[in-house]
Amino acid sequence: MDIGYLIFVMPALIFALWAQARVSSAYRQYSEMNSGAGLPAYMVAAKLLQESGLGDVRIERVPGELTDHYDPRDKTLRLSSGVYDSSSVAALGIAAHEVGHAVQHAVGYAPLAIRNGLVPVVQLVSNAAFPLFLIGLVTQSGFLMDFGLLFFLGAVIFQIVTLPVEYDASKRAINMLEGLGFIAGQESVAVGNMLNAAALTYVAATAMALAQFLRLFMLRGRRD
């Protein structure tokens, strides 16, 4: 335990736990609110994709809860079991959000392209960041600690780039659902609440990455 953990990491961790609890609560609440459209999420997603000119994007069911995602590598939109067949407001919002990512991919949305390009690099450097820093800390090697910090900075940048990607996908989701008449009025408010709660988890992930970086930066400074 060090002062950097208490100052930076602990508050970020509390925020992350709160954000996760909020999205789980919102998902449970709006999963019980049936949409007026009465269509399962996979059918709504298929319609949104078709209207967006993305008929080549496949839709698959995947196990788990809130495991929904769009994979640009094979143009596949994967919906979790609890979302796929559900006609709830929560399910429609989640499915439309993933369609939003598919649209981003199709139109070449710059932040998404940057994020996707960073993925393999960030996976490599983020795995090496802590080991390098800790080895440098133990051996009193400023060179290794600086490399660890530099690598960890890549993870921070990745999280920051992710934020506009997620918020833009949510905005596209609401616009598409409203534009095609799948939601209206209080349903639109509910979808907005659900997606905003989900977006907070990405804000929390960014805060956590930044907090860890600042903690390590503080430790590095104490070794000079």
The catalytic residue positions are 98
Could you give the CA distance from residue 144 to residue 128 in angstroms, rounded to a whole number?
Answer: 11
Torsion, Cα of 57, 91, 196, 69 (10° steps): -30
Structure-block tokens of residue 22 = 């909020």
Could you give the CA distance from residue 20 to residue 150 in angstroms, rounded to a whole number?
Answer: 28
Please, which residues have CB within 8 angstroms of residue 38's CB and are 6 or more apart in sequence? 87
Structure-block tokens of residue 179 = 């534009």
**What amino acid occupies position 66?**
L
Q: Tokens 């998404």 label which residue?
A: 112
User: In residues, how long is the chain?
Assistant: 224
H or E segment to which residue 150 belongs: helix 142-179
Other residues' Cβ atoms within 10 Å of the Cβ of residue 11: 13
Closest CA to 83 of 100, 60, 103, 114: 60
